[in-house]
Chain A
Amino acid sequence: MNSSAAIAPVGETVVIEKPVLGSIIDRLWRDGYTVVGPTLAESAIVIDQVRAIDDLPIGWTDDQEAGTYRLRRRDDRAYFGYAVGPHSWKQFLFPPKTTLYSIEFRADSMTVKPNVDPVPSYAFLGVRSCDLHAIEIQDRVFLHGPYVDRQYQARREKALIVAVHCAVAASTCFCESTGTGPRAVRGFDLALTELESEFLVEIATPRGAAICDGIKSRPAAGSDLGAAARIVDKTRNSMKRSLNLNGLPDILYQNLEHPRWDQVAERCLSCTNCTMVCPTCFCHALEDVPSLDGASSEKIRQWDSCFNPDHAHMAGGNNRPDIRSRYRQWLTHKLASWVDQYGVSGCVGCGRCVTWCPVGIDITEEAAAIRGDQP
């Protein structure tokens, strides 16, 4: 472990042999992190615990298209030779279901007990640029408004992030057009580029440097940096889809009664898949779950979706009673009102909603159809 002596300073770029990533993973676990990253499940690459380097989907890739996802063997042993799967990091920072607090009550009193369960320290391994942007967006939602979400904050502050610059894009990726990839530019502790038999490692923070301390490495040469840049450029140029964000909020607001909403409503099943896989969607429901003895109740927070009929329920009637109005909410929120609310688009071009839509509705196509001939 201590073969190369110097402590890697912040801002340094080094090169490690691929198996050395295993030592980094060991080191993270030893330092108390729960390492999560891409793993091979039955039919997709999902984010789960990575105990050792062999837990990564080495030698696998994914073929993605609107409405389809298939795993395939690569003809090499690339560690990160695939794009994003159905999971995103939001399920660790903003879990699908948590308890916020519980309350005990009697005929004449009540006691509020905040949930003080310990929060895990996660190390996220293999975070792509689109997902770094998504985390930054959820930070704006949960940390930078008038009210701070304490559970999100606790998880977020502890998380260590190892990014990977993308060496392949799926056909559903369009981060180049949304300015959110494929090269990770900020928001990570370490960033990896997968070269042929080595990783280029950018050390961005003291926490990242601490993890690399004593790891067997060599300084990066100009040729390594050139090779890494070419890999990302190739990915950039291979993207098949694009989303033109220019002026899009106004175009959408001006077309709230466009016939396209009726057309997409005929295909959309209102299944909520797009909002569940989207790394930026933050809607959640707060529900009370009373105990059997009726003396206490837990407040549960669960992911919700604007495609759920109850999302806009009001005692006097539903505000969005049909699929047309729900799809319109989703698309106008992502691409128009998000900009008003958070200063950036709510879409980071990851393509998940395109792949995981059971009927293959494509956000880039829908936005383009409403844009029409407008430049």
Chain B
Amino acid sequence: MTTTQSTSPGPRTVQGADLPEDDPFLPRPAYVSEIRGETPGITTYRIEFADPDRAACYAYEPGQFNMLWMPGIGEVPISIASAPDEGPGILHTIRATGRVTNAMTSLKPKSPIGLRGPYGRGWPLKQAEGRDVLVVSGGLGLAPLRPVVLALLANRERYGKVILMHGARTPKDLLYDYEYESWSARGIETLITVDRGDAAWRGRVGVVPVLFNRVTIDPKRTLMMTCGPEVLMRFAVAEAIAREIPAGSIYYSLERNMHCAIGLCGHCQLGPDFVCKDGPVFDHSQTARFFSREHF
């Protein structure tokens, strides 16, 4: 193969402010401005754009995610864990689990990082208005649901009964546990459970789906949003269906391998859907055929 003409201006150096607006693959220069250790292996990073104009026009919805680029290592999809009024920047809560996320543990305040997004379809906060809301999460699954909790609190009067059921392996693994008290004080029934307690633990022990027996649910009024390990979501969906919540009122956020996040690379397919652009949040009436089908 040959290239025929060489009238190009040659590589152009840009600092982020003047990157071509329309090339969806390009990460934007950003930096870490704050780091908070959460639970073992999980850290929250505050990330801010280097270019203030970009920061000013960046808008997102709960449930959307960003692609974070770790210099020289790679890019990973990470949910947005903060509410828009928690700026500056965006909070991302990340578990170190592989090549890219392990490298992220070396990030320090001011470390550069690339960011592109936001991507995907978020949680159905509009559809939830006027209804009871059931939020069910396990482990790190609370990260993409935290902005939902904060949005429900910010407009508490727009919703009926709001229940959060959350579980983790041990008390040490309870994400954002410093916030639960304030959430429940401001009108969210917060039920927490752990698989295994420890000497100091006074709370519930058991898996999340068991918590369904602790609450009364009006299936016609209730909208459920769930995120966590796939087994947890499978059980949560089964409990919801057993209580006659219609499939169209059951929402979950799915995870698939992702490279591009813009519907081009093919990695995140789940039957007819691309999880990156048609999800990651789906309602069960849309996806029931493929949801937790083995090896699909």
Chain A residues with CB under 8 Å of chain B are: 32-34, 49, 92, 95, 100-103, 105-121, 141-142, 145-150, 253, 256, 282-288, 290, 294, 296-297, 299, 304, 306, 310-316, 319-322, 324-325, 328-329, 332-333, 336-337, 340-341
Q: Provided the pairs A92-B1, A304-B265, A337-B271 are in contact, do residues A314 and B15 lie with their beta carbons within 8 angstroms?
A: no
- Considering the complex, give the chain B residue whose CB is closest to the CB of A339: B272
Q: Does B234 contact A (CB under 8 A)?
A: no
Q: Does B182 contact A (CB under 8 A)?
A: no
* CA A290 to CA B74, docked complex, whole Å: 10
A294 cross-chain contacts in B, Cβ below 8 A: 72
Pairwise interchain contact A116-B114, C-beta atoms closer than 8 A: no
B296 cross-chain contacts in A, Cβ below 8 A: 256, 319-320, 325, 328-329
Question: Assuming A118-B4, A285-B267, A286-B25, what are 8 further A-B pairs, CB within 8 angstroms?
Answer: A101-B26, A110-B29, A114-B19, A114-B20, A120-B4, A145-B262, A304-B266, A312-B257
A115 cross-chain contacts in B, Cβ below 8 A: 11
Q: Which among A49, A145, A288, A321 is the interface contact of B75 at CB below 8 angstroms?
A: A288
Pairwise interchain contact B257-A314, C-beta atoms closer than 8 A: yes
Q: Which among A34, A116, A286 is the interface contact of B12 at CB below 8 angstroms?
A: A116
Shortest Cβ distance from residue B286 to the other chain A in the assembled complex, whole angstroms: 11
Chain B residues 1 to 29 lying within 8 A of chain A, measured CB to CB, are 1-16, 19-20, 22-29
* CA A121 to CA B26, docked complex, whole Å: 24
Q: Which among B2, B263, B266 is the interface contact of A283 at CB below 8 angstroms?
A: B266
A329 cross-chain contacts in B, Cβ below 8 A: 269, 296
- Considering the complex, give the chain B residue whose CB is closest to the CB of A119: B3
The contact sample of 28 A-B pairs, CB cut-off 8 A, is A32-B5, A33-B4, A34-B1, A95-B1, A101-B25, A105-B72, A111-B15, A112-B14, A112-B114, A114-B19, A117-B3, A118-B3, A118-B6, A120-B3, A120-B4, A146-B277, A147-B24, A284-B259, A284-B266, A294-B72, A306-B266, A314-B256, A316-B229, A319-B257, A325-B295, A328-B296, A329-B296, A341-B274
Q: Which among A288, A315, A337 is the interface contact of B272 at CB below 8 angstroms?
A: A337
- Considering the complex, give the chain B residue whose CB is closest to the CB of A289: B72
A106 cross-chain contacts in B, Cβ below 8 A: 112
Q: Does B154 contact A (CB under 8 A)?
A: no
Shortest Cβ distance from residue B89 to the other chain A in the assembled complex, whole angstroms: 16
Pairwise interchain contact B264-A141, C-beta atoms closer than 8 A: yes
Q: Provided the pairs A299-B25, A312-B257 are in contact, do residues A34 and B2 lie with their beta carbons within 8 angstroms?
A: yes
Pairwise interchain contact A297-B71, C-beta atoms closer than 8 A: yes
Q: Does B214 contact A (CB under 8 A)?
A: no
- Considering the complex, give the chain A residue whose CB is closest to the CB of B95: A315
Pairwise interchain contact A113-B14, C-beta atoms closer than 8 A: yes
B256 cross-chain contacts in A, Cβ below 8 A: 312, 314, 319
Pairwise interchain contact A146-B8, C-beta atoms closer than 8 A: no
Q: Provided the pairs A145-B264, A283-B266, A285-B265 are in contact, do residues A311 and B257 lie with their beta carbons within 8 angstroms?
A: yes
- Considering the complex, give the chain A residue whose CB is closest to the CB of B2: A34
Shortest Cβ distance from residue A94 to the other chain B in the assembled complex, whole angstroms: 10
Q: Does B255 contact A (CB under 8 A)?
A: yes
* CA A75 to CA B263, docked complex, whole Å: 49
Pairwise interchain contact B98-A148, C-beta atoms closer than 8 A: no
Q: Provided the pairs A103-B71, A118-B3 are in contact, do residues A147 and B262 lie with their beta carbons within 8 angstroms?
A: yes
